[in-house]
Structure 1
Amino acid sequence: MGDQASNANPTGRVTVVRSLNMDLVARAPRLPKPGETLAGHAFAQVPGGKGGNQAVAAARLGAQVAMIGCIGDDSNGGILKAALEHEGIDCAALIVVDDASQNAIVIVAGSNAEVSPASIDAQDALIACADVIVCQLETPPQTVRAALAAGRRLQRTTILNPAPAATKLPVDWFPLIDYLIPNEIEAATLSGVPIATVDDARRAAEMLKAKGARNVIVTLGAQGVFALLDGAGGKHMPAPKSNAIDTAAAGDTFIGGFAAELARGAAVTDAIAFGQRAAAIAVTREGAQPFIPHRGEVAV
């Protein structure tokens, strides 16, 4: 990982309406077959969740970051909060909820489910001072919509990463989204267009933009991204070459880097290219959140 001092003077503010999970990671020679018991060789508990990963990425890649959400009142919740604070992320809007009687998986899901529209309403000032608002679909749908609507009302730039992919997004969400950023699977699920090529991604993006999203950026893994931008048409941006060994946090790193650059005032295509360069570094490392690169490691 890079020197955190390289992020000592972040510019641009990003607020993430978040999900936080404690990832339980077992390493094994291969994925087990259905019904098979397979011996693993390593185990780790790692802070994660798409919201947490994207917030850490944005912070390491140059933004001032705040989070709105909930954590469990247990040891995992404490670890997750400490990890965010270590990155300089403002956690004042994190609400602690008591899930101590549940098992580890339910604790995380339960606290994410506690992020309510009222949580958003109570944070108007935090949203108003942000340049960019980032949402995913790991918190309740009504909360995501409330965050997007608040961003639109307060004239902030809104990003929705529709993961995990729903069958459809409500039609009234699309006009609230400045940047809809699905991967190829999510774009296919939302548009109904199977995606195997860049031309497929173009067709899916056109369908999603026609619903009202201002810009649609489809991430395509090793094929790069296809960006259908407001007033600029479609553009395929190939991925930088890298020796990928683990793609676990690639998408979250891209979104965090993109949001950080957008908040700094960069042009959209420059912000996309920066996010791609950051993701190209992330995939060369085995692991997710702890190995997201710092700004000083990414060529600007």
Structure 2
Amino acid sequence: MTAPHPLVTRARSLADDLLAPHAEEVDRTEVPVSHLGEIRRSGLLGLQAPREYGGAAASGAVFRETTEILAGACCSTWFVQTQHHTPVLTLARSESPVRERLLGRLASGELLSGVAYAHLRSYPRTPVRVTRDRGGLRFDGTVPWYTGWGLNDVMLLAGVTDEGEALFAFTEAREQPGLRASAPMRLAALTAARTVSLGLDGLRLPEEAVVLRVPYERWAAADREKTVNANPAVFGIARAALTLLDEETATALGSRLERVRREAYALADEAAPHEHVKDRLALRTQAYEVLQAATTAAVVTGGGRTMLLTHRAQRLAREALFLLVQGQTRESRRAHLNALAP
């Protein structure tokens, strides 16, 4: 039997010893800086970074497994740190000067990054517009969702240019001239992740802050390929819910879960990203169905006590609702709705 990857072992240790025991408390308050400090020191923030920058260059299978472990233990903490991996991969694929300035620091955990780009999926609406200004770039508009405010060091900010490009640049994750944050939002789930909206009114960044500039349609095509796959966090939370069930119910739902998981990951590993899109979307929807069944069963099993905010089952059920819309696109939404109302 092959030994688990060292970062999988570290993720499991963090989950068992730190994240899961405090998950209900975190859910009612906010993700502690100390939790993120342990994740910074663990090496998990460099999971997908190139080795020459101090990362682990881990496989997709390792990334999925650590995602399942962390999300199943404390979804709020997982969601803050998972934002970090997109900036790391974006830098790793870039030839921009900002790569040398930031990639090693992000891979080591010295810096923690958030992302502000989901609004690009609303195109042709352009919530954030980028224009040239004074030899640099000016950002104007509203970022509806930004997670990790007050916890992240930097952010990867995106907007659309007048030429129809998707443009991504790094800036500090703090209030500054041209950038203001709302109060943290009160959400049905993951309030602890400190999600705010960002108002951009003439935020100016230098050209050397840019990490990616690409025609919007090219970016959107790559984004769609990522969002048609089942989210490993879904399997992590579903597995956590199974531990709250009686053996008979857990066995039946566990069999469904493992079948969907096996088929979804096989497509992710064995097929090109643009292939079997309908099958991927179908498995994504089936994963949600098992997740909802498992978390609902956990609530039913726990009875009236699950209405207490201190009960694990209702937390998992609310986190399941969150995952239904996290990373959603028009295509994934339509596939899910078609499955719900055939």
Q: TM-score range by the shorter chain?
A: under 0.3
Mark the structure with the bigger radius of gyration: 2
Is the helix fraction higher in 1 or 2? 2
Is the strand fraction higher in 1 or 2? 1
Q: Which has the higher contact order (CA 8 A, sep 6+)?
A: 1
Tell me the TM-score normalized by structure 1.
0.26
